[in-house]
Each structure stands twice: as C-alpha cells, then as structure tokens.
Amino acid sequence: MSRTFSKIALIGKYQSVDGSETVLALARCLRERGLEVWIEQGMAGTIDKAEGYAIATYEEITGKADLAVVIGGDGTLLNAARRLAERAVPLVGVNLGRLGFLTDLPRADACEQLGEILDGHYREEARFMLEAEIVRGGQRVFQTLALNDVVVNRGQLGRMIEFEVMIDGEFVYTQRADGMIVSTPTGSTAYALAANGPILHPAVGGIALVPLCPHALSARPVTLPDSCHIEIILLPPHDARVHFDGVNYFDVRAGDCLRLQRSPLEVCLLHPESYSYFAMLREKMHWSAVPRHN
C-alpha cells in the first residue's frame, strides 16, 4: 500500500553551494505540487532565499514529516537517518557526493524522480541499525546508534591496540590490530569494503566483524547473525577511539567494554521503481566496465 505524502522536509549538506541550489529547486517543485515544504533549520541558515519556506528542527521533522528528502552524500543521509530513526521517517537521497550508495537520485533528475515517488511509484526498503553503548566500571558512559558501522581504532597514539571479542557471552579471541570494524549490511560497502570485508546484501540479517590490519595473518572477517550480542573489551595498557558512522566518536580507556546489538529501530529508504541494488553495485564498483587504455 502506497504512503500519502503531504508534509515534505528537505535536509541538505551544510555550507554546500550545490546543496543550497538543489534544496531551493526541489522546494519549488514540491510547492508547485501543492505540498507543504519544510527546510531543516540548520540548512535554512545557510540559504539566502529560504525565508519563503517553513523552517523545521529535526525534532519537528521526526514528529510530523511524511517524507524527508536528503540532499548531499551518503554521510549527510547517515546523519539524518540516525536523527530521524525514532519514528522511521521515510528517506529519499539526492546524490551530491562522489559514490552515493544510499543517495540514489541524480541531481539532474531529482525533481522528476521525486515526483514519481510522491505519485506512489517507488520501492520501499528497511535497513537495520546497530545499538551501541560503552560501559566503564559497570556504568554506561555513552550510547548511540549506527546505520553503517562502528569502528574501534588505535586513536591518536598510532600504535596497535589489543582487545578481546565476546559473542553472546562466549570468548572468541584476543586480537592485536589497528582496530575492528563492526558493520551492518548497509555499511558493508563503506569502510569495511576497503578493509577487505564482505559485501552483504541489505536483506541479509548479518553483522560483519572486519579486523583492521591484524597482527595475526589468520585473522579474517566473520559474518554473524544479527541476533548476536557483541562485546569488544580494550585491554591494558591501550587507549583507543570508537567512531560511529564516521559522524561522532568516543575515546575509550583500557578496561572499557563496547557493547553492540541490533537496534529495534530501522531506517526506511524509498527508491525509484527502476532501482536495482545490483545495478547500483555495478555502477559504483565499476564491475564489467570497459578497460581504459592509454
């Protein structure tokens, strides 16, 4: 059953000239369709001609918008997805970035393809998130969500760290490495891919553990069921840094425990009817591309 869209929020990449122009162009297209258009507050502050449109905070968008259109790259969409996850506001991504694994509407065709989605011609897809917390001395000191990945790395000192990995309370191994990537299927085409991790189809209920430059050559990526509870305990004397979707981070100390599990919250993505996951991979990964010759 198709959704009904009447209140549309536009969220863009801050301090982006292309983003500002595209936001205004889409706002005009939506207004011509008789729809109520909101521009996210932070983005509106960077646009000269935003005064003619309603300005909304993320909290207002979460509670009232029928659709959020995100203009930017995958990082912009990741940030919006995390902030709107509580109500699973549907997201459409307009690509202004380089790769655009998540933002699949090209800017040149954004108004036309967005119109098709508003007319009910779309594919709906749910992406699960990771719920992350850091425990220190038995007390939670940090909690957040991640759609792409959670990355433990060696931080500012630039030396290997050592940590234990526990799955569902069972000891798996002690690892010496530059760090560890814990990735959802959505994040499997991001940092995890660069670290030789597996590509997971979005419909796969799996979480990938991908070591970063492990000291033991036998250490390999492992894909776990998404029902697993994962713990990564940092061992003395090391300190480290944990990144969440590359958006925010937390500095951890020896003895801290990073706990991860699938979140009950999901991100809802809307794609054009012509969208194909494998066609997207062929384009972004240059599969079957004609070789270039000098």
Q: Where are the domains of the chain?
A: 7-120, 129-264
Average pLDDT over residues 36-47: 87
pLDDT in tens, 66-116: 999 999 999 999 999 999 988 889 999 999 877 789 998 999 999 999 999
| H helix runs in 124-208, sequence order | 191-194
CA distances from 179 to 160, 170, 176, 192, 210 (A): 8, 20, 8, 12, 9
Contact 53, 220 (CB under 8 A): no
Neighbours of 180 (CB within 10 A): 25
* Cα–Cα distance measured from residue 222 to residue 207, given in angstroms and rounded to the nearest whole number: 8
Residue with tokens 């998540």: 102
Check: pTM over 0.85? Answer yes or no: yes
Average pLDDT over residues 51-69: 91
CA distances from 288 to 83, 85, 216, 285, 292 (A): 37, 36, 34, 9, 12
Question: What secondary structure letter does DSSP report for 1?
Answer: -
| Predicted local confidence at residue 49, as pLDDT | 64
| Predicted local confidence at residue 50, as pLDDT | 62
What CATH number matches the domain at 129-264, 3.20.20.105, 3.40.630.30, 2.60.200.30, 3.40.50.300?
Answer: 2.60.200.30
User: According to CATH, what is the number of the domain 7-120?
Assistant: 3.40.50.10330
Within this chain, domains 7-120 and 129-264 share the same CATH topology: no
Look over the chain and give the mean of its residue pLDDT values, rounded to a whole number.
Answer: 92
| Catalytic choice (74, 104, 149, 178) | 74
Told to judge if 178 belongs to the known catalytic residues of this protein, a careful annotator would answer no
Contact 185, 262 (CB under 8 A): no
Percent of the chain with pLDDT over 90: 76
